[in-house]
C-alpha cells in the first residue's frame, strides 16, 4: 500500500515534467521546420495574451483584407480578438501619436509610419522595443530602424512602359539607358519620384553620378509631372508617354489586368520601399500585440499577408516565390536592390542636396 502511494506521488510529480519535455521537443521540431521557428514565443507571452484577450490594430489594409488575414492569425491564436481600423494618414501620424503622448494610445499596433512621422514617434518615446520577438533575428539590419520599427512588406519601384509604343528589344537595363535621344520627351516622372526613386539612387550611385543622371534626364526633356503613381500609369496606358517612373509592380499589374497596354520592368539599381510596423510603448494589450507582430513577420504570416494584399513579403525564405505579379522573383533576380531605409527617409529633407537637385531639375533649372 505504501509502495502504491509512493508510485502515485512520483507519477504526479513526473507527469508534468514529461509533458513539459514533450512540449519542448515539439517546439524544437517546429524550429527545425523553419516555418514555425519564428513562432516559438515564450509561454508567458501566451498566458498574458490570453488574459488580455484582444488587441487594437491601426493599419492601411482594407477591412476585407484584414478579415482574411485575421482568419489565419486567429486559427493560431484563437484567444486574441483583433479590433481593426483602416486608419487614414492623419490618424496614424497624428491621433495615435497624440494619445500615446498622453499615455493612453488608442491603438496597440500602428503601421504605415515612415520618415519624419516615425521620427516624431521616436522623439516622443512612444514605441516599444521589438528585438525580443523570435522573428526579429530573421531579418537583416536594412529592414530595421533601431529596435522599435521593422519593415514587414515591400514594393519594388522600377518603371512601367507602354507595350504598344516600346518593343522588348529596346527596353533599358539601367536608368542611364533612358538618356538615349530616341526617348527624348518620352519619360515621365510622377509626384513620388524624389522620395521613392532619387533618394535610394542618390545613396546607391553616389551624389555625383546621381546628379549626372538627373542632368541627363533634364537635357533629354523628361517630363516632371504632378500626378501620383496610380494616375501616372493610367496616363501611360493612354499613350501620354512611353515610360513612367517610379512605378511599383503592383501599380503596373493593376492596370495590365484590366487590359491596359502596360508592363513593368526592374531596372538596375532597383529601389525597394518598405512598410513598417510598430507596437506602442504603453499599449493596453502588449503581449497580444507581440503575438500579432511576431506572426506577421514569420514565414507563415508573411505568406498569408502577401497572398491577401498583393504586397511583397520581406521574409528571406520567400524571396524566390512570386505571389501576385507574374514571374516577379525572376524579374528582380540579379538586380542590385537598394532598400530605402528609414534613416534615408528621415534625412531627405528640404536642406538635403538631393532634394535641392530635384527641385532645380523639376522646375526647369537646367
Provide CATH code, domain 42-153+273-318. Answer: 3.40.190.10
Tens of pLDDT, residues 281-324: 999 999 999 999 999 999 999 999 999 998 999 999 999 888 88
Q: How far apart are the first and last CA of the chain?
A: 101
Q: What is the DSSP letter of 184?
A: T
CA dihedral over 161, 355, 185, 183, signed as positive or negative? negative
Helix (H) or strand (E) holding 286: helix 286-297
**Strands (DSSP E) along the chain, which ranges?**
54-59, 81-86, 109-111, 144-145, 149-162, 187-189, 223-224, 243-248, 262-265, 270-279, 337-340
Q: Which three cell numbers stand for residue 186?
A: 518620352
Query: Which of these CATH numbers, 1.10.3720.10, 3.30.450.40, 3.40.190.10, 3.40.640.10, describes 155-271+343-362?
Result: 3.40.190.10
Angle at 266 between CA 211 and CA 333, to 5 degrees: 120
Contact 348, 195 (CB under 8 A): yes
Tens of pLDDT, residues 167-213: 999 999 999 999 999 999 999 999 999 999 999 999 999 999 999 99
User: Given pLDDT bands bounded at 50, 70 and 90, which one contains residue 7?
Assistant: very low
Cα within 13 Å of Cα(88), Cβ side: 1
Contact 171, 180 (CB under 8 A): no
- Quick one: which of 41, 126, 33 has its CA closest to 76? 41
Amino acid at each position: 500500500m505504501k509502495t502504491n502511494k509512493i508510485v502515485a506521488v512520483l507519477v504526479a510529480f513526473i507527469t508534468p515534467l514529461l509533458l513539459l519535455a514533450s512540449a519542448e521537443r515539439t517546439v524544437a521540431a517546429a524550429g527545425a521546420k523553419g516555418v514555425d521557428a519564428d513562432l516559438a514565443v515564450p509561454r508567458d507571452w501566451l498566458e498574458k495574451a490570453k488574459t488580455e484577450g484582444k488587441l487594437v490594430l491601426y493599419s492601411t489594409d482594407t477591412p476585407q483584407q484584414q478579415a482574411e488575414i485575421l482568419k489565419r492569425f486567429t486559427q493560431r491564436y484563437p484567444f486574441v480578438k483583433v479590433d481593426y481600423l483602416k486608419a487614414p494618414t492623419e490618424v496614424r501620424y497624428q491621433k495615435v501619436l497624440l494619445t500615446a503622448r498622453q499615455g493612453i494610445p488608442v491603438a496597440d499596433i500602428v503601421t504605415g509610419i515612415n520618415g519624419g512621422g516615425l521620427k516624431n514617434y521616436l522623439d516622443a518615446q512612444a514605441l516599444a522595443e521589438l528585438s525580443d520577438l523570435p522573428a526579429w533575428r530573421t531579418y537583416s539590419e536594412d529592414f530595421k530602424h533601431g529596435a522599435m520599427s521593422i519593415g514587414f512588406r515591400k514594393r519594388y519601384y522600377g518603371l512601367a512602359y507602354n507595350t504598344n509604343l516600346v518593343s522588348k528589344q529596346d527596353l533599358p537595363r539601367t536608368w542611364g539607358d533612358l538618356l538615349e535621344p530616341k526617348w527624348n520627351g518620352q519619360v515621365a516622372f510622377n509626384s513620388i519620384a524624389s522620395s521613392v526613386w532619387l533618394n535610394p539612387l542618390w545613396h546607391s550611385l553616389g551624389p555625383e553620378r546621381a546628379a549626372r543622371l538627373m542632368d541627363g534626364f533634364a537635357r533629354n526633356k523628361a517630363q516632371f509631372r504632378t500626378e501620383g503613381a496610380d494616375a501616372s500609369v493610367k496616363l501611360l496606358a493612354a499613350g501620354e508617354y512611353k515610360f513612367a517612373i517610379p512605378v511599383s509592380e503592383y501599380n503596373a499589374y493593376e492596370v495590365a489586368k484590366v487590359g491596359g497596354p502596360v508592363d513593368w520592368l526592374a531596372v538596375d539599381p532597383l529601389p525597394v520601399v518598405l512598410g513598417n510596423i510598430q507596437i506602442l510603448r504603453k499599449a493596453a494589450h502588449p503581449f497580444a500585440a507581440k503575438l500579432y507582430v511576431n506572426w506577421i513577420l514569420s514565414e507563415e504570416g508573411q505568406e498569408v499577408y502577401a497572398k491577401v494584399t498583393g504586397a511583397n513579403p520581406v521574409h528571406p525564405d520567400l524571396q524566390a516565390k512570386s505571389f501576385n505579379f507574374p514571374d516577379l522573383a525572376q524579374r528582380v533576380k540579379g538586380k542590385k536592390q537598394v532598400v530605402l531605409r528609414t534613416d534615408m527617409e528621415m534625412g531627405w529633407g528640404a536642406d538635403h542636396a538631393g532634394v535641392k537637385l530635384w527641385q532645380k531639375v523639376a522646375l526647369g533649372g537646367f
